[in-house]
């Protein structure tokens, strides 16, 4: 399978199969998972990046543990809508992922996801700086995945 348009995702997934959402950072990968109805995203884990093969092995373990069969990757589009080096890196990650496992992969515009999560954790949850560092990546992955799931529900 190849990278697909997000709206195609439900048509290529097995029935009642969750997907994971990824927030790809330079040092971490935030991972979230959907429920089987593709309506609710939940933060799952933050993978500390080391080597691609090691990182992806952990990602596949997480996917297998939840029966997830697809991936939504946050695409860090610039505020003006253009794609820069971070988007290229995300697209390269998807290509390399697909070389290892045949599954549907889609992208979702992640503009301002980390900023929104940080604001929520500071303003609404009053979370300390140290605790925010632990939570922000997997929470951003859930934000990204929830945005994609909401789009699928409203198509």
Residues with Cβ within 8 Å of 97's Cβ and at least 6 positions away in sequence, in order, are 56, 71, 105
Instruction: Please state the domain extents for the chain.
Output: 19-153
pLDDT in tens, 36-49: 999 999 999 999 99
- Spatial distance between the Cα atoms of 148 and 72, rounded to a whole number of angstroms: 8
Alpha helical stretches, state H, the chain: 9-12, 52-66, 85-100, 113-119, 129-153
Superfamily (CATH H level) for 19-153: YqgF/RNase H-like domain (3.30.420.140)
pLDDT at 115: 61
- DSSP secondary structure string for all residues of 20-33: EEEEE-SSEEEEEE
Does the structure show a pLDDT above 90 at 73? yes
């Amino acid at each position: 399978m190849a990278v697909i348009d997000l709206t195609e995702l439900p048509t290529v997934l097995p029935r009642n199969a969750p997907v994971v959402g990824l927030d790809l950072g330079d040092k971490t990968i935030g991972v979230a998972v959907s429920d089987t109805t593709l309506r609710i995203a939940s933060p799952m884990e933050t993978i500390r990046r080391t080597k691609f093969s090691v990182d992806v092995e952990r990602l596949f373990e997480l996917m297998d543990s939840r029966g997830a069969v697809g991936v939504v990757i946050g695409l860090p589009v610039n505020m003006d809508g253009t794609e820069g080096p971070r988007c290229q890196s995300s697209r390269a990650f998807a290509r390399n992922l697909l070389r290892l496992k045949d599954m549907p992969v889609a992208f979702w515009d992640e503009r301002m996801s980390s900023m929104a999560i940080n604001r929520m954790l500071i303003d609404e949850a009053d979370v300390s700086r140290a605790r925010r560092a632990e939570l922000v990546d997997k929470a951003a992955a859930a934000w990204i995945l929830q945005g994609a799931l909401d789009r699928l529900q409203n198509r």
